[in-house]
């Protein structure tokens, strides 16, 4: 499945006039295969051995290209680092307060909230964002084991 997603993303970039470099290909492949919502530094560290001449700035610049092309979402949750998500369809995130792990989930009922908000206020809703915070199972287990 990730091969199909990668091909679709590469085709979308080509169709918008973006040249496909080995670095862009590798960054996209990493984002598609990652379920961790990585930071630019995470991506850089994962790829630096394959691309020793690639800089963190190259990663940031490519992430901006991908975001502008609509291939990824940039997630900002108040900490200093943006995280990046290849899944661009509507979904939500639950975030661990302890380790920062982000997990996707979907709840179709929230689409009704958009319709209601639009109806009640007269706004044209462009998007919404939902974040749920808690403690992930790994951190709960780690804390339980230290007691």
Q: Which residues contact 32 (CB under 8 A, 6 or more apart)?
A: 2, 5, 6, 9, 86
Q: Are residues 31 and 81 in the same domain?
A: yes
Q: Are residues 38 and 70 in the same domain?
A: yes
| Cβ(27)–Cβ(47) below 8 Å | yes
Q: What is the CATH number of the domain that holds 65?
A: 1.10.10.10
- At 23 the pLDDT is 94
- At 91 the pLDDT is 84
Positions of the chain with pLDDT under 70: 1, 78-80, 147
| Cβ(112)–Cβ(121) below 8 Å | no
Domain membership of residue 121 as a residue range: 92-145
- At 78 the pLDDT is 64
Full-prediction pTM beyond 0.85? Answer: no
Query: How many residues can be counted in the chain?
Result: 147
Q: Are residues 21 and 46 in the same domain?
A: yes
Number of domains in the chain: 2
Q: Are residues 35 and 64 in the same domain?
A: yes
Q: What is the CATH number of the domain that holds 132?
A: 3.30.1490.190
Q: Are residues 73 and 46 in the same domain?
A: yes
Distance, CA of 30 to chain centre: 11
């Amino acid at each position: 499945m990730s091969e199909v997603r990668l091909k679709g993303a590469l085709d979308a970039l080509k169709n918008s006039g973006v040249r496909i470099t080995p670095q862009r290909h590798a960054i996209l492949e990493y984002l598609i295969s990652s379920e961790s919502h990585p930071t630019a530094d995470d991506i850089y560290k994962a790829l630096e051995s394959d691309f020793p001449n690639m800089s963190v700035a190259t990663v940031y610049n490519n992430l901006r290209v991908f975001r502008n092309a609509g291939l990824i979402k940039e997630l900002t949750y108040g900490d200093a680092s943006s995280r990046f998500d290849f899944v661009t369809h509507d979904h939500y995130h639950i975030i661990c307060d302890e380790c920062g792990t982000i997990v996707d989930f979907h709840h179709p009922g929230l689409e009704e909230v958009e319709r209601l908000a639009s109806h009640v206020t007269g706004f044209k809703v462009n998007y919404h964002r939902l974040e749920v915070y808690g403690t992930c199972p790994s951190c709960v287990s780690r804390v339980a084991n230290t007691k």
